[in-house]
Amino acid sequence: MSWFLFILLSVMAIGGGLGVVATRNVVHACLFLLFSLLAVAGLYVVLLTEFLALVQIFIYGGAIIIVLLFAIMLTRSKEYPSISDNSQWPLALVSGLALFSLLTATFVVNSSSFEEMHRVALTDLGTTLFTDWALPFEIASLVLLLALIGSIVIAKVERRR
Amino acid sequence: MVTLMHFQIVSAALFSVGLYGVLARRSAVLILMSIELMLNAVNLNLIAIASFTDPERFAGFIIAIFVITVGAAEVGLALAIVLRMFRNRATVNIDEIELMKW
Amino acid sequence: MIGMEYAWLIPVLSFVAFPLILLLGKFLPGKGSSISIGAIGAGFILFLFVMVDRLSNGATEQAFFKIDWFTVGSVELTWGFIIDPLSVSILGLVTFVALMVQIYSLSYMKDDPRFNWYFGIQAFFAGSMLTLVLADNFLLLYIAWELVGLCSYLLIGFWYERKPAVEAAKKAFITTRLADVALLVGILLLYKQVGSFSMSETFEQAELLMAGANSALSSGTTLIAALLLFVGAMGKSAQVPLHVWLPDAMEGPTPVSALIHAATMVAAGIFLVARTFVIFEAAPDSLLIVAIVGLLTTLMAASMALVMTDLKQILAYSTISHLGLMMLSLGSFGYTAAIFHLMTHGFSKALLFLAAGSVMHGIGRTDIRQMGGLIKVMPLTALAFGIGAVSLGGIPIFAGFWSKDEILLSVLDHRHPIFMILVLVAVFMSALYMARAFFVAFMGEISDENRKGHEAPVFMAIPMILLAILAVTSGLLALEWTDSFRGIGSFIFAHEGHGFEFNLMLGLGSTILATSAFIIAWLIYVKGSISISPFKRTFAPIISIAERKYYLDSAYQGFIDRVVLVFSSLVAKFDRVFVNDFAVNGVAESVKRSAFTLRHHVTGLIYNYAFVMVVGAIVLVAAWWAIAVKG
- pLDDT of C484 above 60: no
State which amino acid sits at residue C359: V
Distance CA A8, CA C94 (A): 120
- The C-alpha R_g of chain B, in whole angstroms, comes to 17
Domain range summary for chain A, segments of one domain joined by +: 1-83, 120-161
Which DSSP helix (H) or strand (E) runs through C405? Answer: helix C399-414
pLDDT at B71: 93
pLDDT at C509: 82
Instruction: Judge whether C141 and C273 are in contact, CB under 8 Å.
Output: no
pLDDT at C218: 78
In Å, what is the CA distance from B26 to each residue of A3, A98, B41, B81? 37, 22, 22, 16
Burial class of residue C34, CB neighbours in 10 A (0-12, 13-18, 19+) = middle
State which amino acid sits at residue B86: F
- Across the interface, whether the CB atoms of C618 and A86 are under 8 A apart is answered no
Distance CA A89, CA A79 (A): 19
Q: How confident is the model at residue C487 (pLDDT cuts 50, 70, 90)?
A: low
B residues 55-74 lying closer than 8 A (beta carbon) to A: 55, 57-58, 61-62, 64-66, 68-74
Q: How confident is the model at residue C519 (pLDDT cuts 50, 70, 90)?
A: confident
Q: Does B77 touch chain C (CB under 8 A)?
A: no
- pLDDT of C245 above 70: yes
* Chain A residues inside the 8 Å CB shell of B88: none
Interface test with C, best of A93, A106, A110 (most C CBs within 10 A): A106
pLDDT at C488: 64
CB atoms within 10 A of CB C358: 29
* Chain B residues inside the 8 Å CB shell of C611: 23
CATH 2.40.10.10 given to domain A1-83: no
In Å, what is the CA distance from C125 to each residue of B14, C15, C315? 96, 8, 22
Distance CA C69, CA C357 (A): 42
Q: Does B89 touch chain A (CB under 8 A)?
A: no
In Å, what is the CA distance from C384 to each residue of C87, C339, C463? 28, 23, 10
Closest CA to A37 of A7, A12, A6: A12
Give all domains of chain B, ordered by start, each with its CATH number.
4-89 (1.10.287.3510)
C585 vs chain B: nearest CA distance in angstroms? 25
- pLDDT of C450 above 90: no
Q: What is the tens place of the pLDDT at every residue in C116-136?
A: 888 888 889 998 999 898 888
The residue among B13 and C476 whose pLDDT is bigger is: B13
Q: Chain C: residue nearest A103 by CA?
A: C621
Distance CA C552, CA C546 (A): 10
Q: Chain B: residue nearest C602 by CA?
A: B101
Q: Residue C82 forms beta bridges with which residues?
A: C64
pLDDT at C63: 63
Q: For chain A, how many residues are written?
A: 161
Question: How many percent of chain C have pLDDT more than 90?
Answer: 12
Closest CA to C630 of A103, A101, A110, A113: A110
End-to-end Cα, chain A, rounded Å: 66
Measured torsion, CA atoms of residues C467, C469, C475, C480, in degrees rounded to the nearest 10? -130
Rounded average pLDDT over C172-176:
89
CB atoms within 10 A of CB A119: 11
Q: Name the range with the highest mean pLDDT among A23-37, C191-205, C249-263.
A: A23-37
Q: How confident is the model at residue C89 (pLDDT cuts 50, 70, 90)?
A: confident
Rounded average pLDDT over C529-544:
73
Q: What is the tens place of the pLDDT at every residue in C303-354?
A: 888 888 888 989 999 999 999 999 999 988 888 888 889 988 999 999 999 9
**Residue C219 zone, left/alpha/beta (φ > 0; ψ -120 to 50; rest):** alpha
Q: Does B97 touch chain A (CB under 8 A)?
A: no
pLDDT at C14: 82
3-state helix, strand, coil in chain B (%, to 5): 80, 5, 20
Rounded average pLDDT over A77-96:
76
- pLDDT of A14 above 90: yes
Closest CA to C148 of C167, C172, C124, C169: C124
- Across the interface, whether the CB atoms of C610 and B23 are under 8 A apart is answered yes
Q: How confident is the model at residue C586 (pLDDT cuts 50, 70, 90)?
A: confident
pTM of the model: 0.70
Please list, in sequence order, all residues whose beta carbon lies within 8 angstroms of the beta carbon of residue C157, skipping any fewer than 6 positions away. Answer: C165, C166, C168, C169, C170, C251, C252
Q: How confident is the model at residue B12 (pLDDT cuts 50, 70, 90)?
A: very high
